[in-house]
Amino acid sequence: MSRYLALRRAMLPTTVVDLAEQVAAAGYKVTGPRLAVLRAIAACAESSFSVHELEQWVQARGESPGVASIFRTVRLLCTLNLVERIHGIEDCHRYCLTNERHGHHLMCTQCGALERFNNCGMQPAIRHLERQTGFQITAHLVGLFGLCPNCVRAGAPSLPGRT
Amino acid sequence: MSRYLALRRAMLPTTVVDLAEQVAAAGYKVTGPRLAVLRAIAACAESSFSVHELEQWVQARGESPGVASIFRTVRLLCTLNLVERIHGIEDCHRYCLTNERHGHHLMCTQCGALERFNNCGMQPAIRHLERQTGFQITAHLVGLFGLCPNCVRAGAPSLPGRT
DNA sequence: AGTCTTGTTGATATATACTATCATTCACGT
DNA sequence: ACGTGAATGATAGTATATATCAACAAGACT
């Protein structure tokens, strides 16, 4: 572990340390701006986030990273499979921390709250379609959308909403 | 049916007439530029298309519609549920004619070829997740990606590709 | 057929998401 | 502590898409 990271480890929540260690392990430097973005992302660990939201988060704390670096960091984390893009009904501009296993998302269209799940039950349909169409299927995308329990209670309209 | 549309009906392939009639039935005018976009879309009826590809198609035929009108027409057809956005792995900037029933897509990441299917087998998983999470699930997104038989034969790389 | 009304168009500007460029800076191995 | 190469911020650029608005034309009405 680098001195810089070691120095900060005690004062950082676990998710940030995890992310930082994986960034370092992949041979990338753990810089101040990058750490700030990791902190912002870790703050959304249980939910989803857009680059714009990360930008507001770091700016609200008076931190340095410019938009370019935030985009760069998100892109880096995507290439490291630590973060992934969420495909919404209307937009595809939100991200979330990657589920460890083969994972999919269930997102609240109102507040962005996120649940993950693994068993999408699509394997039989995929195999059937491969036989039927002759396609070689290499990837699948599954997203569920609706209202989280909180937004149901608050009487939020069910669609359209933030996706 | 309007005089304009009646005049052109004989010389238009069926898909274009279908689309034009639905546009007219919804109370929108069937104008020359709009028809040109419908023709371009009909030319991709069995596949997918981007706005940029539609633009090239109409320009290659020396037709008038500007980019703004192409976007407007695509958006109109989306609101009429005649066209829908395809969510790709990397991008979400392709569209296709809407499947009549509850439908999903299987798209070739190499050439954009499209197959549609209806039985995604997700209903049990959705009901299970509703019980388990308390979410009220109102929409789901399913996309499959791979290589179509032609691109498999041609030895195309399986990913990354156009999505 | 001529006219009117209102939706539609094209040109342009703007918005949003993201990438490229490049001089400066700084993390990390030595 | 130093040197090197990766990372940063500022800025400009690209791609997708929408807003604005004067000019136009489709369809209705006579």
B92 beta carbon < 7 A from strand C?
no
Query: What is the per-residue pLDDT across A114-141, written as a single tens digit (0 to 9) for each?
Result: 888 888 888 899 999 999 999 999 888 8
CATH 3.30.1490.190 fits A104-163, yes or no: yes
Beta A83-86 vs A49-50: how paired, if at all? Answer: unpaired
Domain with CATH 3.30.1490.190 in chain B: 104-163
User: Straight-line distance from CA A10 to C1' D17, in Å?
Assistant: 46
Query: What is the per-residue pLDDT across B121-150, written as a single tens digit (0 to 9) for each?
Result: 888 989 999 999 999 998 888 989 999 999
Query: What is the per-residue pLDDT across B29-41, written as a single tens digit (0 to 9) for each?
Result: 999 999 999 999 9
Alpha-carbon gap, residue A137 to B105, rounded angstroms: 12
Supply the pLDDT for residue A92: 86
Domain with CATH 1.10.10.10 in chain B: 1-98
User: Straight-line distance from CA B17 to C1' C27, in Å?
Assistant: 64
Q: The dihedral of CA A91, B31, B114, B104: what is its sign?
A: positive
Q: In the complex, which nucleotide's C1' lies nearest to the CA atom of residue B5? A: D26
A15 pLDDT band, cuts 50/70/90, is confident
* Closest residue to B87, CB basis, from A134, A135, A141: A141
Question: Taking CA atoms, what residue in B is nearest to A152?
Answer: B136
> Any idea which architecture B1-98 has in CATH?
Orthogonal Bundle (1.10)
Q: Give the residue from A114, A125, A131 showing the smallest Cα distance to B142.
A: A125
**Positions in chain C where some atom is under 7 Å from a protein CB:** 7-13, 16-21, 26-29
Query: What is the per-residue pLDDT across B71-111, written as a single tens digit (0 to 9) for each?
Result: 999 999 999 989 989 888 778 899 999 866 557 889 888 88
Alpha-carbon gap, residue B126 to B91, rounded angstroms: 25
